[in-house]
Amino acid sequence: MQKSIYFQQFFYRRIFDLSSAGGVYREILPKPEHLVSKALYTFDIGANDLAMGYLDNMTTEQVEAYVPDLMERLASAIQTVYDLGGRYFWVHNTGTLGCLSYALAYRPDLATEKDSAGCSVALNAGPRFFNTRLKETVARLRVALPEAAFTYVDVYTAMYRLMSEAKKIGFGDPLRVCCGYGGGEYNFDKDIGCGVKVEVNGTVMEGKSCEDPSRSVSWDGVHLTEAAYKFIFDQIVDGALSDPPVPLRRACQAKGQ
């Protein structure tokens, strides 16, 4: 959670310094009091933390073993923001790692058992474990920081809904990469990524974009397309997948309002 240090020592302090300087900064920057007490602090964590373990050839059990430490780091980061005056927190759980082409390609040993959506059961086990611990951590923070309002947002369910119903809602194969190289099941080659050119024996191979990214779920095997992210946002913005079930527009209201 090094970013909490950056927030405290650089962004937070810099906003106050520049605002005090007056002039154009006072016009274009948020008011310090809004930044602190009226802002919504969004935490979206887990994806890289879990992926690094799997890409380092860890088992799901080994990945799960370091999740408690991640929870402590998250709690510490939120405590830092709270101590500075932050009171509104929108905490996302992590998505379906086992439905991403790069994870399936890098860990084929964990991709042998797939569910009906074509996602790796083993690679999704880590995110589900992480999300359970995350929800418990948010519950503890509600008790420890009673003046704060926490919204736990179930991004995993929204993302899995997209993966499992992609064709029904107008997308193509959710596992097939839009910007990639190699064709095959995923159109993904870990050595020739999106925008990368490789020359082999005089032949140039390049990871190129598909013709219509708006119909693709996966952009480059790691990230989703803009259209896919919009679908996920539309699933979570109204609070239907949140605990408590408050829409985004009300996430900055005090509890009970």
Residue 65: domain span: 39-167+222-250
pLDDT on residue 222: 97
pLDDT of amino acid 20: 72
The radius of gyration of the chain from alpha carbons, rounded to an integer in Å, stands at 21
Look at residue 10 in the predicted model and tell me its pLDDT.
Answer: 57
Return the beta strands (E) in the chain as ranges: 40-44, 88-92, 149-153, 197-200, 203-206, 242-243
**58 and 97 in contact (C-beta within 8 Å)?**
no
pLDDT at 72: 96
pLDDT of residue 24: 76
Six-digit token string for 37: 């007490």
Domain count, the chain: 1
Residue 4 lies in a domain: no
Residue 122 near residue 60, CB atoms below 8 Å:
yes
pLDDT at 199: 87
Residue 125 maps to a domain: yes
pLDDT for 245 equals 96
The pLDDT, as a whole number, for residue 137 is: 98
pLDDT tens digit at each of 257 positions of the chain: 455 566 666 566 776 777 676 677 777 777 766 777 788 999 999 999 999 999 999 999 999 999 999 999 999 999 989 998 899 999 999 999 999 999 999 999 999 999 999 999 999 999 999 999 999 999 999 999 999 999 999 999 999 999 999 999 999 999 999 999 988 999 999 999 999 999 888 889 999 999 999 999 999 999 999 999 999 999 999 999 999 999 999 998 855 55
Q: Is residue 15 one of the residues assigned to a domain? A: no
At what angle are helices 155-165 and 226-236 packed, to 10 degrees? 130
Q: Among residues 120, 115, 117, 123, which one has the least CA distance to residue 94? A: 123
Q: Please give, one letter per residue, the 3-state secondary structure of 66-128.
A: CHHHHHHHHHHHHHHHHHCCCCEEEEECCCCHHHCHHHHHHCHHHCCCECCCCCEHHHHHHHH
Q: Is residue 146 part of a domain?
A: yes
Q: Give the integer Cα–Cα distance in Å for 26 and 170.
A: 45
Provide the pLDDT for residue 8.
64
| CA 186/CA 168 separation, integer angstroms | 19
Interaxial angle between packed helices 121-144 and 47-55, expressed in degrees from 0 to 180 and rounded to the nearest 10: 140
Q: Is 59 part of any domain? A: yes
Residue 106 lies in a domain: yes
In a domain? residue 94: yes
**Cα 2 from Cα 257, distance rounded (Å):** 34
Report if residue 9 sits inside a domain: no
* pLDDT, position 207: 94
